[in-house]
């Protein structure tokens, strides 16, 4: 996406890419960062920084009627009342939220 955006703007230089990463995205932050430089070179984004914002898992508890942070990925239950929860509101993100572009 960053590559496209850069191309759209007449190959403006991308300084930084801001990414939201949830624990359920299936991507490890360290792996992402270590492959970043290589990916940048291939995409014409050499020198761009990758800023990863890790977001916590939020689930919806039907018993409390509230969204709750999930303390552990091994235990999908409400931390307040112990009700098993299945509705994940947040935590699957692998999403570019912003680009810092040098005009
Ligand atoms: Zn609850």
What are the 10-residue block averages of pLDDT along the chain, 103 residues in total?
70 88 93 89 86 95 95 88 94 94 83
Distance 35 CA to ligand 1 centre (A): 39
Tell me if the pTM is above 0.85: no
Question: How many angstroms separate the CA atoms of 54 and 48, rounded?
Answer: 19
- What pLDDT is recorded for position 9? 63
Distance 89 CA to ligand 1 centre (A): 14
CATH of segment(s) 2-102: 3.30.2320.80
89: three-class secondary structure by DSSP: strand
Beta pairing partners, 99:
17
What distance lies between CA 23 and its chain's CA centroid? 8
- Where are the chain's structural domains? 2-102
Distance 94 CA to ligand 1 centre (A): 27
Question: How many angstroms separate the CA atoms of 44 and 61, rounded?
Answer: 44
């Amino acid at each position: 996406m960053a590559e496209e955006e850069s191309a759209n703007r007449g190959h403006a230089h991308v300084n930084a890419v801001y990414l939201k990463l949830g624990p359920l995205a299936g991507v490890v932050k360290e792996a992402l960062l270590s492959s970043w430089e290589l990916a940048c070179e291939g995409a014409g984004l050499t020198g761009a920084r990758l800023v990863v914002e890790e977001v916590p898992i939020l689930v919806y508890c039907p018993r409390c009627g509230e969204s709750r942070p999930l303390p552990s990925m091994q235990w999908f239950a409400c931390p307040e009342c112990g009700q098993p929860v299945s509705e994940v509101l947040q935590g699957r993100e692998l999403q570019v939220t912003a680009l810092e572009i040098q005009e």
